[in-house]
Amino acid sequence: MLHERPLIMVVDTDSLFVELLADLFAEAGYQMITCQHSGAAPTIIRREQPDLIVLDTWIEHPDSGLLLLELLRRVPATQAIPVLVCTADSWLLTQDAEHLRSLGCTVLPKPFDLDAFLTMVRARIAIGLASAVGV
């Protein structure tokens, strides 16, 4: 779905991180919606069709975000939405690196440089928009 300004959905339970992203995305000209529950996220994602999803892997449980990502990749309406996984779970990033790559997401360990993060966000949105219009 094409939005007036790119729409980013953040699925994360860390309220300070979400507030930081809200400020960062507003300054960069993006719209943002949030969800703190992996169970509610698929419905919101299908309805809103964000241009990018920023996803933590640890939502309710250590693997909630990964299970959500797997679900999104199985549903035709959500499988092409770019996902940027941002997590402090270094064990998961090491153990599931190949699996995350196979799910077509970009991974950025927390903490990270905000400029590098915004560069990744712009790149993922551009790739998603290009595939949406068939470029």
pLDDT per residue as tens, the chain (135 positions) = 566 889 999 999 999 999 999 999 999 999 999 999 888 999 999 999 999 999 998 888 888 999 999 999 999 999 999 999 988 888 877 888 888 889 989 888 888 899 999 999 999 998 776 665 554
The maximal CA–CA distance of the chain, rounded, in angstroms, is 39
Question: Under a CB-based contact definition with an 8 Å cutoff, are residues 44 and 71 in contact?
Answer: no
Which residues fall within 8 angstroms of residue 72, CB to CB, at 6 or more apart? 42, 45, 53, 78, 79, 81, 83
Single-letter residue type at 112: F
For residue 120, give the H/E element and its range.
Answer: helix 114-132
Q: Rg (Cα) of the chain, in Å, rounded?
A: 14
State the pLDDT at residue 135: 47
Give me the residue label for tokens 């990502």. 69
Domain boundaries, the chain: 7-86
pTM score, whole prediction: 0.89
7-86: what fold? Answer: Rossmann fold (3.40.50)
State the pLDDT at residue 59: 86
State the pLDDT at residue 90: 82
